[in-house]
Amino acid sequence: MSSVADEYFCYHCYMDFSGKLKKINELKTEIEKLGPLDPALIKNLDDWYRVELTYTSNAIEGNTLTRQETAQVIEKDISVEGKTLNELLEAKNHSQAVDFITNFARKNKARSTTTLPVILDIHKLILQKIDDTNAGRLRTVSVRVAGSVAIFPNPAKVADITEGLIVWLAENHSHPATKALEAHYRLVSIHPFTDGNGRVARLLMNLVLLENNFPPLVVPKESRRPYIISLEKGQTVGDTNDYYKFMYEQLIVSMEKYLEMVKEKK
């Protein structure tokens, strides 16, 4: 089973990212020096990330809600004129999924407890009331991404390759940042669902980060193009250097933003 996954994930990453990991470690140390946060500050941060992760992740997938409109839908349950029902549901669903991974991570610090049912639960939250037939279920059909030449695994292999991902998550002991980024890359490259793959992959990545006491990684809407191009380069020619370079940089920016927000409010 895992051999199928290992065979599928043959790619090349030859760049030296030790400098970026050194910076990440320095920022992690600085975060740890902050000590335990006040419950009110934790809630404030949770509220911010719920909106920010939802807005950016959905925007990457084509949702047209602005950051302010996303906050309205999530925090006040206010409908937005001119937006589709699906766009509103995507905001509500993703916000619930952010709460799910946040709470799950707090109960499972530094433990690799992510199972297939956990990933399916995340997907079910993402697609609930949008596509209940496929929500929380692995795909049984072939899929393509519009405008991309990437080829994803045959549906007959999806279950085995996804199970291989779960085994890998349990057995991988690399740097938490590297593990989180690779978990994202693996899941989005398996494309185990008919829809919602990118959002679930980013949530899985952040679940791994949160379990290891890192703040969430935010991929800005403005960075959609380099993000997508770097992923496709890995999926089509097996070169993940641009992907890791881009994502490590996003993690550094996200950690710096976290420190800035906490220091402002402490």
pLDDT given at position 258: 99
Question: If you average pLDDT over residues 62-72, what whole number do you get?
Answer: 98
b/e map 52-88, b = 16+ CB within 10 Å: bbbbbbbbbeebebeeebbbbbbeeeeebeebeeebb
| Statement: residue 4 has pLDDT above 50 | no
Q: Can you tell me whether residue 12 is helix, strand or coil?
A: strand
The structure's pTM equals 0.95
| Statement: residue 139 has pLDDT above 70 | yes
pLDDT given at position 1: 32
Q: What does the block give as tokens for 99? A: 């709460």
H helical segments located in 115-175: 116-127, 155-171
Decide: 165 and 92 in contact? Cβ < 8 Å.
no
Question: If you average pLDDT over residues 1-23, what whole number do you get?
Answer: 67
Catalytic residue positions, numbered: 191
Looking at residue 26, its amino acid is E
Of 129 and 15, the structure prediction assigns the larger pLDDT to: 129
Q: Taking the domains of the chain in order of start, what are their residue ranges?
A: 2-136+153-261
- 187-233 per-position pLDDT tens digit: 999 999 999 999 999 999 999 999 999 999 999 999 999 999 999 99
Decide: 18 and 248 in contact? Cβ < 8 Å.
no
The pLDDT mean for the chain works out to: 94
Nearest to 52 by CA among 102, 6, 10: 102
C-alpha distance across the termini of the chain, in Å: 49
CA distance 148 to 153: 15
Task: Give the class (CATH, top level) of 2-136+153-261.
Answer: mainly alpha
CA 187 and chain centroid, separation: 10
Counting runs of H as helices and runs of E as strands, what totals does the chain give? 11, 0
